[in-house]
């Protein structure tokens, strides 16, 4: 490990990761281009997103070469956000239900991707 | 700062690796983050706090999108462009993604050449990174102009759920601000590299700290983070 002179790695690894990020971005764009819908769409979007994020953090930001004390200090706290995510989802479901009940909109149809003028 | 801070001379004993290393580093009664300049550790902690800010935006976006009874405007159509007579969905956002990823690649290489003390290559790569960042901001300005002309406002829009505009302007606006600050920051570091401030350990304008090539890596962390946030915005706001 070349820590005394900072992070020094061969240029090839950056170029390879750059190429991989291009491939993954193209793949996630194609998910939209070919109109994948439903769970397949969400699954693919999340997989490509996590792969890209992982590559950027691990190689471009040199996380795989850092000491574990720093890695844990930075990567563990964001896991708390899962709690906020859960609270947000619960709250949103309740608000959606209440709006449906009080404003009379059809509460059983989330109606995504339907242009407004066709309703 | 009269005494030069040495990175490795105080650490003559080999540091343990793995989980034992985590315990040893944190319980050492010294600085916890060994082998990294403190500027880099602080940049990481700043980025951690920024992660929470962007997460709050994205989670509130999720909440308003899940709770609206109006249909959400289809991003694939909203961000489509007509190029060469064809209507291509989401093309502008795809190009912006590639521009930002490319700038991340040139930034990573600038860090590498910086540690090799290759001044010319570092300067050129930093400048390319800044140019790509400025291109990204320019395209975002175009996108904002287009949407505002189509009647999208933070409080409503002709395409569907009113919350679309608020989420869009808040999330992309905050990200665009980060990119703009990054471009300014990149140009400053590039000038320092070109002048040889980092080779000659010239003190900084604000801090008086001696210049060294670690600041290029710290700058790089910020820039990669901006790219990282865009990965999440692209997935959740534009593709979902």
pLDDT, one tens digit per residue, over B73-89 is 988 888 888 777 777 88
* Rg value, chain B, Cα: 22
Query: Digits of tens for pLDDT over chain B (240 positions)?
Result: 444 445 555 556 788 888 888 998 888 888 888 888 888 999 999 999 999 999 999 999 999 999 998 889 988 888 888 777 777 888 889 999 999 999 999 999 999 999 998 999 999 999 999 999 999 999 999 999 999 999 899 998 888 889 999 999 999 999 999 999 999 999 999 999 998 888 888 887 777 778 788 889 999 999 999 999 999 999 999 998
CA distances from A58 to A4, A64, B35, B231 (A): 20, 5, 17, 15
Taking CA–CA distances from A119, the nearest residue in chain B reads: B71
Contact B62, A91 (CB under 8 A): no
pLDDT value at position B197?
Answer: 83
SS3 per residue for B47-101: HHHHHHHHHHHHHHHHHHHHHCCCCCCCHHHHCCEEECCEEECCHHHHHHHHHHH
Q: Is the pLDDT of residue A2 over 50?
A: no
Residue-wise pLDDT tens digits, B26-49 = 888 888 888 888 889 999 999 999
Distances (CA, A) of B240 to A2, B185, B191: 42, 32, 40
What distance in Å separates the CA atoms of residue B240 and residue A36, rounded to the nearest whole number?
11
Phi, psi of A39 (to 5 degrees): -65, -35
Q: Where are the domains of chain B?
A: 32-239
- Report pLDDT for A33: 87
Alpha carbon distance A54, B84 (integer Å) = 36
Q: Which residues of A touch B108 (CB under 8 A)?
A: 14, 17-18, 59-60
CA distance B184 to B197: 18
Question: What does the pLDDT read at residue A117?
Answer: 52
What is the number of CB-based contacts under 8 A between chain A and chain B? 193
Q: At what angle do helices A11-33 and B91-115 cross, to 10 degrees?
A: 170
Q: Do B234 and A28 touch (CB under 8 A)?
A: yes
pLDDT of residue A108: 55
| pLDDT of B1 | 42
Closest CB to A31 among B15, B44, B239: B239
- Which residues of chain A does B72 touch, with a Cβ-Cβ cutoff of 8 Å? 112-113
pLDDT of residue A61: 93
Residue B84: predicted pLDDT: 79
Partners of A59 on chain B (C-beta within 8 Å) are 108
**Domain B32-239 superfamily per CATH:** Cytochrome c oxidase, subunit III, four-helix bundle (1.20.120.80)
Task: Among A14, A53, A112, select the one facing B109 at the smallest CB separation.
Answer: A14
**Strand, coil or helix: A115:** coil
pLDDT tens for A72-97 read 999 999 999 999 999 999 999 999 99
Closest CA to A80 of B171, B225, B61, B49: B49
Mean pLDDT of the residues in chain B: 89
Average pLDDT over residues A57-71: 92
Q: Smallest Cβ distance to A32: which of B64, B76, B213?
A: B76
C-beta separation of B69 from B163 below 8 A: no
pLDDT at A119: 44
DSSP code string of B159-189: TS-THHHHHHHHHHHHHHHHHHHHHHHHHHH
Give A106's pLDDT tier (boundaries 50, 70, 90). low
Beta bridge partners, B82, equal B87
Structural domain spans, chain A:
1-66, 67-104
Distances, alpha carbon A119 to alpha carbons A30, B141, B182, in Å = 28, 32, 44
| Better pLDDT: A37 or A3 | A37
Predicted complex ipTM: 0.86
DSSP state of A79: G
By the 8 A CB rule, do B193 and B216 touch? yes
């Amino acid at each position: 490990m070349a820590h005394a002179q900072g992070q020094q790695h061969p240029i090839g690894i950056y170029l390879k990761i750059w190429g991989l990020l291009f491939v993954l971005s193209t793949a996630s764009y194609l998910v939209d281009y070919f109109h994948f819908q439903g769970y397949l769409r969400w699954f693919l979007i999340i997989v490509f997103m996590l792969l890209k994020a992982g590559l950027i953090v691990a190689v471009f930001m040199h996380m795989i070469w850092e000491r574990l004390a720093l890695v844990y200090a930075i990567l563990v706290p964001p896991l708390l956000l899962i709690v906020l995510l859960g609270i947000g989802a619960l709250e949103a479901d309740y608000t959606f239900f209440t709006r449906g009940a009080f404003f009379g909109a059809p509460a059983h149809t989330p109606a995504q991707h339907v242009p407004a003028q066709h309703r | 700062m009269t005494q030069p801070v040495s990175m490795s001379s105080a650490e003559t004993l080999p540091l343990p690796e793995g989980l034992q290393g985590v315990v040893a580093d944190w319980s050492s009664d010294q600085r916890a983050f060994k082998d990294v300049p403190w500027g880099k550790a602080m940049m990481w902690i700043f980025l951690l706090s920024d992660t929470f800010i962007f997460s709050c935006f994205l989670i509130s976006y999720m909440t308003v999108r899940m709770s609206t009874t109006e249909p959400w405007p289809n991003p694939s159509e909203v961000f489509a462009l007509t190029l060469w007579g064809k209507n291509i969905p989401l093309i502008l956002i795809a190009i912006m993604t590639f521009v930002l990823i490319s700038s991340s690649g040139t930034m990573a290489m600038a860090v590498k050449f910086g540690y090799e003390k290759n001044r010319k290559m570092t300067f050129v790569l930093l400048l390319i990174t800044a140019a790509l960042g400025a291109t990204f901001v320019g395209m975002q300005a175009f996108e904002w102009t287009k949407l505002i002309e189509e009647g999208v406002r933070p409080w409503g829009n002709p395409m569907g759920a009113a919350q679309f505009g608020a989420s869009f302007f808040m999330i992309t606006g905050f990200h665009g601000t980060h990119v703009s600050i990054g471009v300014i920051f990149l140009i400053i570091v590039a000038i320092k590299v070109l002048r040889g401030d980092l080779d000659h350990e010239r003190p900084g304008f604000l801090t008086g700290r001696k210049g060294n090539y670690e600041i290029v890596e710290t700058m790089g962390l910020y820039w990669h983070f901006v790219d990282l946030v865009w990965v999440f915005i692209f997935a959740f706001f534009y593709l979902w």
